[in-house]
């Protein structure tokens, strides 16, 4: 693995001469229940990027620790930036790395609230700069909720010293917003709403309306079970991306 933050410019040039692909971890600093660290999303993104970098040799940029998290603003310590600021910043980071040679970027995203904006950045890179950008999450699909058993287990697997399981709580999610019944995270009747975390939970342990999210069942063993096959899957993808022809990945010409 090559962590750009940990090598000199002279060594970085050798790395860029050898790779056209780079990993860019990005996450958030926001509440993750009373038991997980505020940095959960960026810490998990960085941990996964480092592991994949170890397996593939691809350079890894410093992690971007603050994202689109205004929906957690009622919880002390949560940080956020506006969507446009985030998009401009992430595009700028990618272009600065590209100026040294890489033309394929993988954003390792630890926060679902960043996803739409990052995909827009990937689209801009493909359309306007002849650079291929893609994104994968730092967690496999189908996990049980924000700060729940699965995300807490990821933390216990990667950095157990930052988790206080004595403060873990199981939380039944609210299911009413005024006179309307909530479904999922953000639906009342036929309408979608821009939800805030307190719409669903007062502890910050969060899932679909009406469900019970159980942080207390988390374990490092479950974290290993969740993450190790996913790490292999992502590393295999990055190996394939290294071999792919850039011209075959870019947008077709506009007619």
DSSP 87-132: HHHHHHHHHHHHTTS--EEEEEE--GGGHHHHHHHHHHHHHHHS-E
Tokens of 89: 């910043």
Tens of pLDDT, residue by residue over 113-164, are 999 999 999 999 999 999 999 999 999 999 999 999 999 999 999 999 999 9
Tens of pLDDT, residue by residue over 183-223, are 988 999 999 999 999 999 999 999 999 999 999 999 999 99
pLDDT at 45 over 80: yes
Write down the pLDDT at residue 156: 98
Write down the pLDDT at residue 2: 86
Report, as an integer, the average pLDDT of 57-67. Answer: 97
Report, as an integer, the average pLDDT of 52-62. Answer: 96
pLDDT at 1 over 80: no
Write down the pLDDT at residue 254: 79
pTM flag (> 0.75) = yes
pLDDT at 105 over 80: yes
Domains along the chain with CATH numbers: 2-248 (3.40.50.10310)
How many CA within 13 A on the CB side of residue 91? 18
Report, as an integer, the average pLDDT of 17-45. Answer: 97
- 132-137 and 104-109: which strand pairing? parallel
């Amino acid at each position: 693995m090559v962590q750009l933050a940990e090598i000199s410019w002279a060594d970085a040039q050798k790395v860029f001469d050898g790779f056209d692909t780079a990993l860019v971890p990005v996450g958030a600093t926001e509440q993750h229940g009373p038991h997980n660290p505020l940095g959960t999303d960026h810490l998990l993104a960085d941990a996964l990027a480092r592991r994949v970098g170890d397996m593939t040799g691809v350079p890894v940029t410093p992690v971007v620790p603050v994202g689109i998290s205004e929906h957690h603003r009622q919880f002390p310590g949560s940080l956020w930036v506006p969507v446009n600021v985030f998009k401009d910043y992430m595009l700028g980071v990618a272009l600065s790395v590209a100026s040294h040679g890489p033309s394929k970027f993988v954003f390792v995203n630890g926060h679902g609230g960043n996803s739409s904006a990052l995909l827009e950045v990937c689209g801009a890179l493909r359309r306007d700069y002849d650079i291929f950008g893609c994104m994968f999450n730092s967690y496999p699909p189908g996990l049980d909720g924000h700060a729940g058993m699965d995300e807490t287990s990821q933390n216990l697997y990667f950095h157990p010293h930052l988790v206080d399981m004595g403060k873990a709580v199981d939380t039944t999610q609210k299911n009413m917003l005024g006179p309307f019944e909530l479904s999922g995270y953000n639906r009342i009747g036929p309408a979608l709403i821009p939800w805030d975390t307190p719409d669903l939970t007062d502890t910050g342990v969060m899932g679909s309306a009406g469900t019970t999210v159980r942080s207390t069942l988390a374990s490092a063993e479950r974290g290993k079970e969740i993450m190790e096959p996913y790490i292999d899957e992502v590393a295999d993808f990055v190996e394939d991306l290294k071999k792919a022809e850039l011209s075959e990945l870019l947008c077709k010409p506009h007619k």
